[in-house]
Structure 1
């Protein structure tokens, strides 16, 4: 496993170098001397160093890189993924493939009985859920993805992380960091949420990020910054949510000082988004430009 665990270091905002522009002008018969070319201003040093990424530059029709990603499969086998969802996750290229133009496209589509849903009925949709478990993890640093989300009632794309000890600790003791969740019934809003012992499920500590217009209209960059005893959420580089152990409810346990792995998925239906309706367009596509992990300098 490619565990990324840089030594903790308190972040400091670097001050940008300021350049002063001088202007010369002449009047009458006086000719101004040629101005010297301004000295090049070096870019301020970055606080972040890229340590892992998937840029999804594969040929059209190729599936996610097996060195980075593993598929979660099924529905009934996972009890509806804990949310009574309607999609059956597959490893079929129809549901997750490169488009040949630098994007991973995760597609949810209507399907005739791809497998059983949690309620014993045939699932009505297929989709994909991929993760970096046992392959790539991070303890501290910045994790982000640039994505264009699908819209529609019952559509539920997500970019999130689970504790690498999930198999032994179980959920919610493993902890869950929802970097970005979107449900079609609130088209102008995404959500960042933390789940752990004493604050899981509907009691997760979340915050909406309002866009002032449909989220699905464009690509956006969704980010979480994870430091010792602090987690920060950003959209397009602007912070909207921050939590520390002091943010937890009484009896809650902070379980985030350990490795986490990354998940991308596109769900259909479930307890939170509700069922698709006649207005929901299929296929629905979640387009991912890249996923990147940085360490803090």
Structure 2
């Protein structure tokens, strides 16, 4: 769902209509309504999820979700940047658990005005580790309304780059993955990538790079379907984005299509997820060929969300459900395979003492005497000015320690360090800079950890050098 006012999407609409005409209503195995979160698929590990099992008429968990309100972010573009006409609220009239395992987001008309809801995850760090695949999935029934009565309905399940939160002026460069979009009650799901610059750029903004298809078997409006997005980093120089509905691949974007803009949308901390139902705006208006909603649009048809889950592959290989890709080789000692000036993921360490990988994307259980080793880090020339580390700590009061950088041997003196104590929690991440001594060429880099107490005191997500 674009965060800027976008024009018509004729290519997407034409593709969608072609699929609708050609699609056969093949039978599929029915999945019971209000099913629980499914078992974690083989080859994957669960990173985060919400099964929406709250009591009837309660709001989504504030630990998981932020409820957006009004007609824009503070200081952000009006009408959420899309021309949509509703006002978002935190009322249970617009967003609530139904007590049967679903979250309902319901647009409501009162007089000439519409209200609805939009929620976004508290977490902003959904991103695959190097050599892994990230999978974002939701089981959703779109608002069950079609034809003229559906004019203006715009349900969406999507993700925005973390730097957008609090800035609101850096779209589309930070990236946007539209995992599921639909407008006007059409039996079609759209998957879209927004990136680069607008207008134009590698993602043809404001349209994005998109594709669409009919929902398999039952229509998107009459039944639940599973919408899935994958970000594949198994080949770091040929990454891929993939969109699925009910396990069927229907859209792929390769890193080469985005070119130099790929880094801007992938080198930051990650993405946050959003669920919303907008009314009117550029996309439904463009497909309809006129302003929506209309006098025929009916009120009160909810989008139902059974679950949202984020998974990551358990190793550096792609699971059977995805197209094959070659995992990168581990960088050999002194091989120069790591760029010192891009994020070096902590979990990609070549060796370690005393640490543990958590959720597949960060390293924890770090205390005095522990270390991480990273081989073949190429500093080139000139020398770096400093280094920055994404770290977090939930250590008790009075517990702190140093994070140090050493080159080539654990016995060498640190070339830089910083102290860290409690940051507000073990995943309350901060990007902490520190000065670093002169260094050029290729080296083995050690992160070493020193504390006057035996307690664990820090988690590390990534680090990089800057010049």
TM-score bracket for this pair, using the shorter chain length? 0.7 to 0.9
**d(CA) in 2 for partners of 1:179 and 1:156?**
13
Contact 2:215–2:245 (8 Å) recurs in 1: no
Contact 2:151–2:293 (8 Å) recurs in 1: yes
Q: What is residue 142 of structure 1 aligned with on the other side? A: 135
**d(CA) in 1 for partners of 2:110 and 2:298?**
14
What is the CA distance between 1:49 and its match in structure 2? 1.2
Q: For 2:296, what is the secondary structure of its paired residue? A: coil
1:165 counterpart = 2:152: no
1:127 counterpart = 2:125: no
Contact 2:173–2:261 (8 Å) recurs in 1: no
TM-score (structure 1 length as normaliser): 0.75
1:295 counterpart = 2:312: yes
1:80 counterpart = 2:79: yes
Contact 1:128–1:266 (8 Å) recurs in 2: yes
In structure 2, the CA distance between the partners of 1:200 and 1:100, relative to structure 1 (3 Å rule), is farther
What is the CA distance between 1:136 and its match in structure 2? 5.0
In structure 2, the CA distance between the partners of 1:235 and 1:257, relative to structure 1 (3 Å rule), is farther
What is the CA distance between 1:184 and its match in structure 2? 1.3
What is the CA distance between 1:220 and its match in structure 2? 0.3
**d(CA) in 2 for partners of 1:194 and 1:59?**
35
**d(CA) in 2 for partners of 1:171 and 1:221?**
27
Contact 1:51–1:294 (8 Å) recurs in 2: yes
Q: What is residue 224 of structure 1 aligned with on the other side? A: 229
Q: For 1:81, what is the secondary structure of its paired residue? A: helix
**d(CA) in 2 for partners of 1:296 and 1:252?**
25
Residues 43-58 of structure 1 mapped to structure 2, 5 A cutoff: 46-58=42-54
Residues 4-153 of structure 1 mapped to structure 2, 5 A cutoff: 46-75=42-71, 78-112=77-111, 124-133=113-122, 135=123, 137-140=125-128, 141-150=134-143, 151=145, 152-153=150-151
Give a deviation string over 1:69-122, Cα, whole Å, max 9, x none: 00111116640111111110011111110000000000100024xxxxxxxxxx
What is the CA distance between 1:281 and its match in structure 2? 1.9
**d(CA) in 2 for partners of 1:171 and 1:182?**
21
What is the CA distance between 1:282 and its match in structure 2? 1.1
Q: For 2:284, what is the secondary structure of its paired residue? A: coil
Q: For 2:107, what is the secondary structure of its paired residue? A: strand
In structure 2, the CA distance between the partners of 1:233 and 1:76, relative to structure 1 (3 Å rule), is closer
Contact 2:125–2:271 (8 Å) recurs in 1: yes
Among 198, 210, 213, the alignment partner of 1:206 is 210
What is the CA distance between 1:210 and its match in structure 2? 2.2
Q: What is residue 234 of structure 1 aligned with on the other side? A: 244
Contact 1:172–1:200 (8 Å) recurs in 2: no
What is the CA distance between 1:230 and its match in structure 2? 1.4
What is the CA distance between 1:263 and its match in structure 2? 0.3
TM-score (structure 2 length as normaliser): 0.49
1:246 counterpart = 2:234: no
**d(CA) in 2 for partners of 1:100 and 1:211?**
27
**d(CA) in 1 for partners of 2:69 and 2:55?**
24
**d(CA) in 2 for partners of 1:214 and 1:279?**
21
**d(CA) in 2 for partners of 1:221 and 1:172?**
26
What is the CA distance between 1:277 and its match in structure 2? 2.4
**d(CA) in 1 for partners of 2:248 and 2:72?**
39
1:179 counterpart = 2:179: yes
What is the CA distance between 1:217 and its match in structure 2? 1.1
Higher relative contact order (CA closer than 8 Å, sequence separation 6+): 1
What is the CA distance between 1:200 and its match in structure 2? 5.7
What is the CA distance between 1:137 and its match in structure 2? 3.0
What is the CA distance between 1:190 and its match in structure 2? 1.0
Give a deviation string over 1:241-288, Cα, whole Å, max 9, x none: 11112123x775452344101000000001110202243221120000
**d(CA) in 2 for partners of 1:231 and 1:257?**
15
Contact 1:153–1:273 (8 Å) recurs in 2: yes
Taking only aligned residues, the RMSD between alpha carbons, in angstroms, comes to 2.0
List alignment gaps of at least 5 residues for structure 1: 1-44, 113-122
**d(CA) in 2 for partners of 1:251 and 1:97?**
42
Residues 262-273 of structure 1 mapped to structure 2, 5 A cutoff: 262-273=273-284
Q: For 1:94, what is the secondary structure of its paired residue? A: coil
